């Protein structure tokens, strides 16, 4: 495993991280808590993964307690990122938006309450990376939010902060505001070969600003790790249910175009997809969806594989600019050009 430094974080992070959503939420298939803890522990002990990304909303706190229990005795050796903003105990009838989102609150009382609750569940004194979860522009540019995060930093409750952009693709303006206007320490973005925009712009901005980026969804819902079967129908419990069939079909064709990044090399397609994000120095860690011991091993070992050459990166860019980006627009069935407004507590 190779490691990189994140802004205002005192420990280095592994190039391949562990997104706890894959073992703490029902969409990803790991429903066995014993297996979940085994994967989290093995990630550190067997493969050197030191960056773990969770959120208070994952399983209504389960993602944080699960991580704390799995890494008992090791928490001071790893970098823990978590998120805040959602009312994690809201009733289903309070949800809104295309992904059935919970209400979000960004006032200082709610932020402090969320931070204290996360610290308790994680069993730590300081959160290494604290992220606004799927924040809209009004929260990102809020003076109250920034002042509260700075106070938490001064009090030693958090080390660094930023925004986890989403939930789906897009969020260019929000990302640029995070990096350029607010000059936050970090941002978490969606980035992969099949969804290169707006990540391309955000990566350039982060490289100039010295902002640390975390990349998620490197495998584009299974298209880039060999797990997607176009002949299967995915029901509502599967995360790919939100992807239009036409987009998935276009993705299958795109994968054929990318064959040069793994055929005849020391990389699998899944490893090549991770290395694509790591080609940028601004991206400090990549979060693949880890659901088994086999893909934990494969993805963790991506860090040691041959990095992309300048020629490979040039060919990738040419393919994207010469037509693939048009075929792969509107990746989610419920994507909107503008984020849905959310409730903000007065």
pLDDT of res. 209 = 98
Residue 332 forms part of a structural domain:
no
Our CA dihedral for 265, 266, 269, 270, rounded to 10 degrees, sits at -160
Nearest to 40 by CA among 57, 59, 19: 19
Residue 341 forms part of a structural domain:
no
User: CA-based angle 311:314:315, to the nearest 5?
Assistant: 90
Residue 345 forms part of a structural domain:
no
Q: Which residue numbers are catalytic?
A: 58
Instruction: Identify the domain containing residue 21 by its residue range.
Output: 3-327
User: CA-based angle 231:236:237, to the nearest 5?
Assistant: 95
Mean pLDDT per 10-residue section of the chain, whose length is 346 residues: 98 98 78 93 98 95 96 97 92 49 93 98 98 97 98 98 92 97 98 93 98 96 76 55 65 83 95 97 97 96 97 92 66 42 34
Alpha-carbon distances, residue 189 vs 13, 222, 301 (angstroms): 17, 17, 22
DSSP-derived secondary structure letter, 27: G
Residue 340 forms part of a structural domain:
no
Q: Which residue has the tokens 């909303």?
A: 57
pLDDT of res. 154 = 98
Residue 346 forms part of a structural domain:
no
How far from each other are the two terminal CA atoms of the chain, in whole angstroms? 46
Distance CA 60, CA 174 (A): 26
CATH of the domain at 267: 3.20.20.100
pLDDT of res. 226 = 75
Residue 72 forms part of a structural domain:
yes
How many CB atoms are closer than 10 A to CB 309? 10
Residue 131 forms part of a structural domain:
yes
Distance CA 2, CA 49 (A): 9
What is the number of structural domains in the chain? 1
pLDDT of res. 95 = 44
Residue 310 forms part of a structural domain:
yes
């Amino acid at each position: 495993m190779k490691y990189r430094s994140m802004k205002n974080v005192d420990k280095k992070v592994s190039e391949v991280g562990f997104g706890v959503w894959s073992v703490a939420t029902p969409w990803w298939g790991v429903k066995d808590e014993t297996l979940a803890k085994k994967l989290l522990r093995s990630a550190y002990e067997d493969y050197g993964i030191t960056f773990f990304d969770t959120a208070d909303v994952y399983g209504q706190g389960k993602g944080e307690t699960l991580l704390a229990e799995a890494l008992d005795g090791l928490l001071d050796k790893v970098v823990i990122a978590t998120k805040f903003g959602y009312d994690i105990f809201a009733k289903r009838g309070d949800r809104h938006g295309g992904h059935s989102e919970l209400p979000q609150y960004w006032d200082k009382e709610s932020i402090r309450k969320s931070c204290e609750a996360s610290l308790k569940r994680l069993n730590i004194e300081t959160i290494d990376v604290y992220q606004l979860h799927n924040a809209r522009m009004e929260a990102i540019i809020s003076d109250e939010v920034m002042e509260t995060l700075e106070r938490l930093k001064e009090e030693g409750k958090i080390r660094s902060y930023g925004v986890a952009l989403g939930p789906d693709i897009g969020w260019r303006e929000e990302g640029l505001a995070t990096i350029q206007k607010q000059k936050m320490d970090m941002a978490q973005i969606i980035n992969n070969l099949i969804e290169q925009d707006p990540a391309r712009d955000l990566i350039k901005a982060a490289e100039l600003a010295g902002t640390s980026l975390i990349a998620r969804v490197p495998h584009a819902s299974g298209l880039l790790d060999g797990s997607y079967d176009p002949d299967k129908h995915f029901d509502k419990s599967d995360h790919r249910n939100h992807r239009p069939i036409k987009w998935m079909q276009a993705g299958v064709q795109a994968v054929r175009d990318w064959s040069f990044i793994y055929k005849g090399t020391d990389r699998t397609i899944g490893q090549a997809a991770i290395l694509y994000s790591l080609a940028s120095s601004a991206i400090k860690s990549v979060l693949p969806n880890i659901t088994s011991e086999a893909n934990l091993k494969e993805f963790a070992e991506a860090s040691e594989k041959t990095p992309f050459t300048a020629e490979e990166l040039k060919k990738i860019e040419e393919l994207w600019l010469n037509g693939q980006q048009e075929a792969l627009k509107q990746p989610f069935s419920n994507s909107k050009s503008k984020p849905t407004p959310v409730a903000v507590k007065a």
